[in-house]
Structure 1
Amino acid sequence: MQKEEMLARLIEQAEGDGAELVTLRAIVEEATDSGAERVLDRLGLADPTAQDDIDQLRELLRAWRDAKASAWKAAVTWIVRAFFALLLIGIAVRLGLGDLVT
């Protein structure tokens, strides 16, 4: 029995029985399952390989985040090194040690 048929039968039963709580809960459950299946189908995630696709996307996103974090860390490291190098050069010039190099 398809989900739509099950939902239609539950609605008919609810109308006939005076809509008991159990029937209403079953209607809600079937409606949400049916809606979720429709959404997954529209997104192209209803096929059996969808879980593998999502796992690969998560892995790719994790790798991107790791690469981005490493790039920022390397950039900050180089900026700090350049700052200290300029600071040392400034100190050397201030102390008159520039003549020793030439």
Structure 2
Amino acid sequence: MNEGKVLAQLLAQAEGARGDLATLSAIVEEAGELGAMRALARLGLGDDNAPGDVAELRELLSAWRDAKRSAWKALVGWLVRLASVLILAGLAVKLGFWDWIK
């Protein structure tokens, strides 16, 4: 917890300096970084393997999106084909195609 020590030192400095702008800015920056590190650690992304894990998750999400997009395209394609077949069958019945066959 080295970040916690730095934040404590900055807070002590701010009390002595009556909170000048540079010290307050440093406190905010350190507090934000400490909070981000804690959040990443709670998510299990605080170790050295985290960048690889995030890259794998992004690849998996991209593959999922591609598969979902392909599935929708295939479904729409089949629906268009089915509608075309139904329209052609309706036209064949309407135009008396069955009489031509007999």
Report the TM-score, using the length of structure 1 for normalisation.
Answer: 0.93
Helix, strand or coil at the partner of 2:48: coil
Q: Distance in 2 between matches of 1:79 and 1:90?
A: 16
Which stretches of structure 1, 4 residues or longer, exceed 3 Å deviation after superposition?
Answer: 99-102
* Root-mean-square deviation (Å): 1.4
**Same amino acid, percent of matched pairs:** 55
The 5 Å alignment of 1:55-66 reads 55-66=55-66
Unaligned runs of 5+ in 2: none
Alignment match, 2:93: 93
Q: Distance in 1 between matches of 2:101 and 2:61?
A: 50
Shift of 1:101: 4.0
Alignment match, 1:45: 45
Shift of 1:99: 3.5
The one-letter amino acid paired with 2:11 is I
The one-letter amino acid paired with 1:80 is V
The one-letter amino acid paired with 1:22 is A
Report the TM-score, using the length of structure 2 for normalisation.
Answer: 0.93
Unaligned runs of 5+ in 1: none
Shift of 1:100: 3.7
